[in-house]
A and B are shown apart, each in its own frame.
Chain A
Amino acid sequence: MTQTVQAPPGAATVPPRVRRGRVKQPRVRTGVNARSNVMAYAMLAPIVLLLTIFVVWPVIYAIYLSFYNWSFYTPPIPVGWRNYVNVLGDRTFIQSVGRGLLFAVIVVPVQLIIGFLFASLVKSVSGKLATVLKVSIYIPTIISGVIASIVFVLIYNYQGGILNAFVGLFGIEKQAWLGNAETALGALTVPAIWLGLGIGTLIMLAGMVDIPPSYYEAADLDGATWFQKTFYITIPLMRNIFLYLLIAGFTAAVQQFELPLVMTDGGPLERTLLPNLYIFQHFRNDTYVGYSIAAAILLMIVLGSISAGIFRVLNSEKAVDG
Chain B
Amino acid sequence: MAAQTPVTAPAISAIGQAPRSSGRSEGGLKGVLIGAGKAVMATVIVLLALFPLAWMLIAGFKSRSEVVETPFQFFPDVWRVENYQLILQDPEFIRSMSVTFAGAIMFTVLSLAVNSLGAYAFARLEFAFKNVLWVYVITTMFIPGMAILLTSFVVVTRLRMLDTLAVLVLPGAASAAHLFFMRQYYLNVPLAMEEAATLDGASKWEIYRHIFLPMSKPVFVVVGMTSFLAFWNSYVWPIMTITSRDLYQIQQYLATFRSERAAELGMLMAGSTLAALPVLILFLIFQRHIIGGIKIAGLK
Contacts and interface: CB of A to CB of B under 8 A. Distances in A.
Contacts of B152: 1, 54, 58
Contacts, number: 394
A283 B237 CA distance: 13
Given A4-B146, A51-B137, A121-B38, A144 B16 contact: no
B231 A26 contact: no
Contacts of A283: 149-150
Given A135-B287, A150-B258, A36 B155 contact: no
A138 interface: yes
Interface stretch (A10-18, A82-90, A179-187): A10-18
A255 B144 contact: yes
Given A54-B174, A138-B283, A147-B272, A14 B297 contact: yes
Contacts of A246: none
A146 B230 CA distance: 13
A210 B136 CA distance: 33
Counting chain B CB atoms within 10 Å of each CB, which of A3, A57, A134, A160 scores highest? A3
A132 B299 CA distance: 22
Contact of A146 (B71, B178, B254, B283): B254
A160 B69 contact: yes
Interface string A119-153: 00111111111111111111110111111101110
A154 B155 contact: no
Interface residues of A, number: 130
A45 to B, nearest CB: 9
The 3 closest A-B pairs by CB, nearest first: A4-B145, A130-B16, A165-B72
12 contacts: A3-B175, A13-B294, A14-B178, A16-B184, A26-B191, A40-B204, A44-B117, A136-B49, A147-B276, A151-B272, A159-B70, A296-B146
Interface of A: 1-5, 8-11, 13-17, 19, 21-22, 24-26, 28-32, 36-37, 39-41, 43-44, 46-48, 50-51, 53-59, 61-62, 65, 114, 117-118, 121-140, 142-148, 150-152, 154-155, 157, 159-162, 164-165, 194, 197-199, 202-203, 205-207, 209-213, 216-217, 220-221, 241, 251, 255, 257-258, 261-262, 276, 279-280, 283, 289, 292-293, 296-297, 299-300, 303-304, 307-308, 311
